[in-house]
Amino acid sequence: MQTRKLGSNGTNTLEVSALGLGCMGMSFGYGPPHDKHEMIALLRAAVDRGVTFFDTAEVYGPYANEELLGEALAPVRAKVLIATKFGFRIDQEGRREGGLDSRPEHIREVAEASLRRLRCETIDLFYQHRVDPAVPIEEVAGAVQDLIRAGKVRHFGLSEASVATIRRAHAVQPVTALQSEYSLWWREPEAEMLPALESLGIGFVPFSPLGRGFLSGKIDERTTFDASDMRNTVPRFSIEARKANKALIDVLTAIASARGVTPAQLALAWLLAKKPWIVPIPGTTRLARLEENIAAADITLSAEDLAQIEQSAARIPVHGARYSQQMARLVDR
């Protein structure tokens, strides 16, 4: 697989596969955790197919996802780059209801624990999972800078941070990558975020590049989700919203069919065409879907293709909020 660079300022550059793998759903968020041995096989299959960039977080499980990656990737650790995250307070029962916590001492504690679970000596990319309004971002950046100087972290990242917060953090410790949602059905980053990242030389890692599975064309108003699936709480996945949003899927399916690709591949190829420093991290728990997604990295969309997608998508409003009210409060504005 081709590679891309996140960050563009000397030591701030991280070279990764053009598509990464979001690993959350293997352990958390989309129903019960999947069989560990099957997920280990899937992770190693991703490496065999050229994926070098793997995304996790301590809160995915909690802890279980980091442990899974640690075991699966230990034999190939020199070939891969692992991103993980800090910023939530996890209580003694292993729940994240404790809220946000980006105090420097907590960041150091999380780094040490994540290193043990990931079975490595250095975290390649350490994101603040959500901006903590109780802790100045300068203190957060300084704490990660100390970890970088100590050799325990290589690169600093932010997730769902505002442009103003990114600029303040970047002035203390260069930010290599921002991770936030971006796809054909959530395009808010195009207004202010993408220009700011380009001017600062910061890479962009879109999570949910397939709209939590919706842009694959495999979900409609008849689809049911497990009781523990987070999509049950997302307004955009209400039955009414799914019915309305099918209009976008119909358009993408028609364009994809004409190009001989799947809707998911079209959505990923569109993202890759936006900027050379964008690295989407679609998640999956199935080998067939992994291979489908990876193939998108070899699709080149023409100017005519991109114009057709833009014009068609612009005519179709997307219905429903992307987060529940509880989760929306954690997004930095």
- Catalytic residue, from 30, 60, 127, 182: name it: 60
How far CA 143 is from CA of 25, 103, 118, 137, 154, in Å, comes to 29, 9, 20, 10, 13
Neighbour tally for 136: CB within 10 Å: 14
- Dist CA 323 CA 57 (whole Å): 19
Q: Are 183 and 35 within 8 A, CB to CB?
A: no
Using CB atoms within 10 Å of the CB of residue 72, give its burial: 0 to 12 exposed, 13 to 18 middle, 19+ buried.
Answer: buried
Neighbour tally for 168: CB within 10 Å: 16
Gyration radius of the chain over CA positions: 19
- Dist CA 53 CA 91 (whole Å): 29
Taking each continuous run of H as one helix and of E as one strand, the counts in the chain are 11, 9
Q: Token pair for residue 240?
A: 């009414």
Cis check: omega of the bond before 62, within 30 degrees of 0:
yes
For this structure, is 182 an active site residue? no
Q: Are 86 and 129 within 8 A, CB to CB?
A: yes
* Angle, alpha carbons 248-254-260 (nearest 5°): 130
Q: Are 137 and 169 within 8 A, CB to CB?
A: yes
- Dist CA 97 CA 330 (whole Å): 13
Tell me, rounded to whole angstroms, the distance of Cα 43 from its chain centroid: 16
Q: Token pair for residue 183?
A: 């796809």
Catalytic residues: 60
